[in-house]
Amino acid sequence: MVRTRLAGWSWLLLAGLLIGFPPGVGRCMADAGQDATLVPLSLMLGAHPKARFAGYYLAKELGYYREAGIELRIEQAASGRSPLEALREGRADIALLWLPTAVQARAEGVPLVNLAQILRHSSLVIIARASSGVRAVSDLDGRRLGIPVDERRLPVEILRRKMGLGFTSVPQSASVNLFLRGGVEAVAGLWSDDYHLLLNAGLDPEDLAVLPLTELGVDLPEDGLYALESTRNQRSGPLAAFLTATRRGWEAAAEDPASALDLVLGIQRAARIPANRAHERWMLGLMLDALGPSSPDGWDWRLKREELARARDLLSETGLLDAKAGALTGLGDW
């Protein structure tokens, strides 16, 4: 149990070069590299410490990355620190990005490759008070919609353009305080995070109107692990070993969620981030549900062509992907 520790090859194209490591790749590399000099790698996550990232924290805490021959540094994308910019500027070797962000960046010339697609569906929802009269997405016209300054902006902009909506976008921090204080009439939040925060704040489910983007034609994959082509070419072995260790971390979280929560809460408290076990339990449970059951070789984290095509099509149809992107980036077989 985790608690005792705590006390064929196939390249898939994105613009010709978004790739994925198949399940199980890197196990032999990890075993072979245990006694070698550790390879330094840095990972930038998409937000401050939370249970959404429990697998990475566990893999590091339990020594799985070191066993794989890697000295991993985990950084958080907080206070305006963008994972995409960290990759672009060489300040991170691996970053957690949502697929639409990665597709748009690749089309703009950032040489990203997809190493693993962790989450295949959107957990993004539009939340309004039931008393506001918002019952359908068209009811957002003329309203103020709070949108955190993070990866939520792009799917919400796709929704706006796709549906021809006329709401006013209000940039906000990654919290629900502006909504609770009446500064906005609706908020773009995560079912695994913001929705439950509102319940914790004293609202009941019947007090809220929830519009999932999955039901509005904007179901786009979220957390994926990305690197630059140069990193992939120069460190393919360590990257594959990193993925194997990451799988082990998520397997440990699934095996012993209580210990995973202990670790996450400890990291949050050390970082002086308000910690709430009930909320992190909700988030971790939904994260493990989204991962689904693991096969003997682990989860299949290869990015699928249909996921890629859906993201490309939605970005193109809404004018968020340059019309010349195909020619510029060699979309080829998408």
pLDDT tens digits, one per residue of 40-73: 999 999 899 999 999 999 999 999 999 999 999 9
Could you tell me how far CA 14 lies from the centroid of its own chain?
18
pLDDT at residue 5 in the model: 47
pLDDT band per the 50, 70, 90 thresholds, residue 122:
very high
Mean pLDDT (whole number) for 94-119: 95
Instruction: Give one DSSP letter per residue of 292-311, joined into a string.
Output: -PPBTTB---PPPHHHHHHH
Cα–Cα–Cα angle for 168, 174, 178, nearest 5°? 55
How far apart (Å, rounded) are the C-alpha atoms in residues 173 and 205?
A: 23
Share of the chain above pLDDT 70, in %: 85
pLDDT of residue 295: 79
pLDDT value at residue 2: 54
pLDDT digits (tens, 9 = 90+) for 262-297: 999 999 999 999 889 999 999 999 999 999 987 787
Element (H, E) at 248: helix 236-255
Confidence class for position 4, pLDDT limits 50, 70, 90: very low
What one-letter code names the amino acid at 301?
W
Residue 228: name the closest of 71, 72, 114 by CA.
114
> Given a cut of 80, is residue 305 above it in pLDDT?
yes
Confidence at residue 332, expressed as pLDDT on a 0 to 100 scale:
25
Task: Give the separation between CA 322 and CA 52, rounded to whole angstroms.
Answer: 32
Positive or negative CA dihedral for 269, 272, 275, 281? Answer: negative
Measured between its terminal Cα atoms, the distance across the chain in Å is 42
| Model confidence band, residue 12 (pLDDT cutoffs 50, 70, 90) | very low
